[in-house]
Amino acid sequence: SRAYSLVDSSQVSTFLISILLIVYGSFRSLNMDFENQDKEKDNSSTTGSFNGNSTNNSIQTIDSTQALFLPIGASVSLLVMFFFFDSVQVVFTICTAVLATIAFAFLLLPMCQYLTRPCSPQNKISFGCCGRFTAAELLSFSLSVMLVLIWVLTGHWLLMDALAMGLCVAMIAFVRLPSLKVSCLLLSGLLIYDVFWVFFSAYIFNSNVMVKVATQPADNPLDVLSRKLHLGPNVGRDVPRLSLPGKLVFPSSTGSHFSMLGIGDIVMPGLLLCFVLRYDNYKKQANSDSCGAPGPGNISGRMQKVSYFHCTLIGYFVGLLTATVASRIHRAAQPALLYLVPFTLLPLLTMAYLKGDLRRMWSEPFHSKSSSSRFLEV
C-alpha cells in the first residue's frame, strides 16, 4: 500500500503525457527526414544532380562542442533568471509566448492539414515579405495565437501545459543528435548541471536556484503595459501572474499539490529517443538493401528483433518512475536527469554492444545515401 501511495494521478498524467510527447516528436522528426528525402529526389530529377548532404535549414544538429558548452550556457541563463528576474521577466515572458505560439502551431499543423484537405487546395497564399503559407498553416497559427491570448488573460495551468507540449514536440523534431558520442556528452553534462543546481546550489546561494526559477511566476505583460501607460487603476489589474510554459504541471486528485516536470527532462531524453528511432529506421533500410543479412552469430534472433527505440523508451519510463518515487520518499525536488540518463543510456549502450552496433553508432552512423524505404515497424 505504501508503494501505491508513492504515485498518484498527477504523476500518472505526467508519465503518459511525457511519453506521448517523446514518441510523437520522434515520429514527426522521422517524417521530416522522409519529406526532405523526397525533396532531394525531386531536385535531383529536375537538375540532374544529387547532393546527399543537403539538409533542411530549419533543422539544427548538435555537435560535440555545442554538447559540451550547452550545460554552461544553461547555467548562465539560470543565474541571470535567478538574480535579475524582476528586470527581465517581461521580456522573457514575451519571448517565451512568441516561441510557444510558433511551437504550438507546429503541433497543430497535422490536424489542420487533415481538416483543410477536403475543402481547400494546398496552394500557398502570399503575404508579401512575410512569406507564403498554406491554409492549414494559417489555421494552425491562428488557433495558436488564440490559445496564447487566452493563456495571457487567464493564466490557466492547462493552457500553459498545452504551450509546453508544443515546445517539447518542436524541439524534439527540429534538433538532431548526430551520434551516440554526442548524445553521451550532452546528457552527461546536463546530468551534472541538474544535480548541481538542485542539490548543491543552496549551499552557495542560500536558495535552491533551480526550484526558485522554475516556480517563480512572472508579471502579466498586460498589467505591466497598463501601469506604463497609466491606463487607470482597474485596467489590466485583474489579470493573473503567469507561470511560464517551461514545465508540465498536473494537479493531484485532491488538488492539494501539483506534479511538475521540466520540459528539459522531456526534450533531452527525447532527443536520444529520436536518434535511436532514426538509427532503427536506417538499420532496417540497410538490412533490406543487403537482402536481410543476419546480425552477429552470438546474438539470438529474439534479441535482434528488439529495437533500440523500445529499449530506450522503457528505460525512460522506469527512470521517470524512479525519480517520482524518490521525490515522494525524500519529500523534496529531485533532479530528474539523475535517474533518466542512466536508465536510458546504460541499456542503450549495453544493447548496442551486444548487437555489435556500438562502434557504428558512436560516431556518425548515418550515411548520406538516401533510401526510398518508408517502412518502420514500431
Q: Is residue 62 part of a domain?
A: yes
CA 273, 279, 282, 286: dihedral to nearest 10 degrees?
-150
Q: Is residue 251 part of a domain?
A: yes
Q: How far is CA 236 from the centre of its chain?
A: 33
This prediction's pTM: 0.86
pLDDT score for 52: 39
pLDDT score for 288: 73
- What is the sign, positive or negative, of the torsion defined by CA atoms of 288, 294, 295, 299? positive
Mean pLDDT, range 323-327, rounded to an integer: 86
Confidence of residue 2 (pLDDT cuts 50, 70, 90): very low
Q: Is residue 267 part of a domain?
A: no
Pairing of strands 132-133, 258-262: unpaired
- Select the more confidently predicted residue: 260 or 36: 260
pLDDT score for 230: 67
Boundaries of domain holding 145: 7-39+58-118+129-262
Q: Is residue 149 part of a domain?
A: yes
pLDDT score for 87: 87
Q: Is residue 371 part of a domain?
A: no
pLDDT score for 34: 83
| Res. 248: pLDDT tops 50 | yes
Mean pLDDT, range 273-284, rounded to an integer: 92
- What is the sign, positive or negative, of the torsion defined by CA atoms of 360, 364, 366, 369? negative
Q: Which residues are part of the catalytic machinery?
A: 194, 265
Q: Among 10-14, 302-306, 310-314, 345-349, whose mean pLDDT is lowest?
A: 302-306
pLDDT score for 45: 59
Q: Is residue 340 part of a domain?
A: no
CB 287 within 8 A of CB 293: yes
Q: Among 57-61, 288-292, 339-343, 359-363, whose mean pLDDT is lowest?
A: 288-292
Say how many domains are in the chain. Answer: 1
CB 58 within 8 A of CB 303: no
Q: Among 258-262, 279-283, 366-370, whose mean pLDDT is lowest?
A: 366-370
Q: What is the 3 state secondary structure string of the chain?
A: CHHHHCCCHHHHHHHHHHHHHHHHHHHHHHHHHHHHHHHHHHHHHHHCCCCCCCCCCCCEECCHHHHHHHHHHHHHHHHHHHHCHHHHHHHHHHHHHHHHHHHHHHHHHHHHHHHHCCCCCCCCEECHHHCEECHHHHHHHHHHHHHHHHHHHHCCHHHHHHHHHHHHHHHHHHEECCCHHHHHHHHHHHHHHHHHHHHHHHHHHCCCHHHHHHHCCECCHHHHHHHHCCCCCCCCCCCCCECCCCEEEEECCCCCCEEEEECHHHHHHHHHHHHHHHHHHHHHHHHHHCCCCCCCCCCCHHHHHCCHHHHHHHHHHHHHHHHHHHHHHHCCCCCCHHHHHHHHHHHHHHHHHHHCCHHHHHCCCCCCCCCCCCCCCC
| Res. 371: pLDDT tops 80 | no
Tell me the pLDDT of the chain averaged across its residues: 83
Q: Is residue 12 part of a domain?
A: yes
Mean pLDDT, range 252-281, rounded to an integer: 86
Tens digit of pLDDT for each residue in 27-54? 999 888 888 777 777 666 555 544 434 4
pLDDT score for 341: 95
Tens digit of pLDDT for each residue in 84-142? 988 888 889 999 999 999 999 999 999 998 888 877 666 777 777 777 888 888 999 99
Residue 213, CB half-sphere, CA atoms under 13 Å: how many? 24
Q: For a pLDDT cut of 90, what percent of the chain falls above it?
A: 44
Q: Is residue 242 part of a domain?
A: yes
Tens digit of pLDDT for each residue in 131-164? 788 888 899 999 999 999 999 999 899 999 999 9
Residue type, 344: T
Residues contacting residue 38 through CB under 8 Å, at least 6 positions apart: none
Rounded distance, CA 220 to CA 240, Å? 7
Q: Among 17-21, 43-47, 186-190, 359-363, whose mean pLDDT is lowest?
A: 43-47
Q: Which residues of 213-247 are buried (b: 16+ CB within 10 A; e: fewer)?
A: bbeeebebbbbbebeeeeeeeeebeebeebbbbbb
Closest by alpha carbon to 252, among 157, 164, 336, 171? 157
Q: For a pLDDT cut of 70, what percent of the chain falls above it?
A: 82
